[in-house]
């Protein structure tokens, strides 16, 4: 799995767990809905850490909680 897919999938899982729509997440995090959609639908393959932090704030979790998954722990090196 690549990093982009891991971020997208984690965001989808967290929204499902927290029962938060993408629109509500946008409102709670201060991230424009278009930015969230671009991350989820592949237009933005490199979301910045500040954007991810804002999304975490909107979900009520820390960056550590966001990245603390098996998928992130097992990511392959990006530069080969």
Q: How far apart are CA 80 and CA 61, in angstroms?
A: 32
Give the CATH H-level superfamily of domain 3-73. Answer: lambda repressor-like DNA-binding domains (1.10.260.40)
Query: What pTM did the predictor assign?
Result: 0.91
> Mind giving me the DSSP string for 44-78?
-SS--HHHHHHHHHHHT--HHHHH-SHHHHTPPPS
What's the pLDDT score for residue 17?
Answer: 96
**Under a CB-based contact definition with an 8 Å cutoff, are residues 38 and 52 in contact?**
no
Indicate if the pLDDT at residue 80 is higher than 80.
no
- What does the domain layout of the chain look like in residue ranges? 3-73
pLDDT tier, 77 (very low <50, low <70, confident <90, very high otherwise): confident
**Under a CB-based contact definition with an 8 Å cutoff, are residues 10 and 73 in contact?**
no
């Amino acid at each position: 799995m690549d990093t982009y897919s891991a971020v997208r999938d984690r965001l989808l899982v967290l929204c499902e767990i927290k029962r938060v729509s993408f629109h509500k997440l946008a409102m709670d995090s201060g991230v424009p809905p278009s930015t969230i959609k671009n991350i989820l639908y592949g237009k933005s393959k490199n979301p910045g850490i500040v954007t991810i932090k804002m999304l975490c704030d909107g979900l009520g979790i820390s960056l550590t909680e966001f990245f603390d998954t098996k998928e992130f722990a097992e990511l392959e090196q990006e530069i080969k």
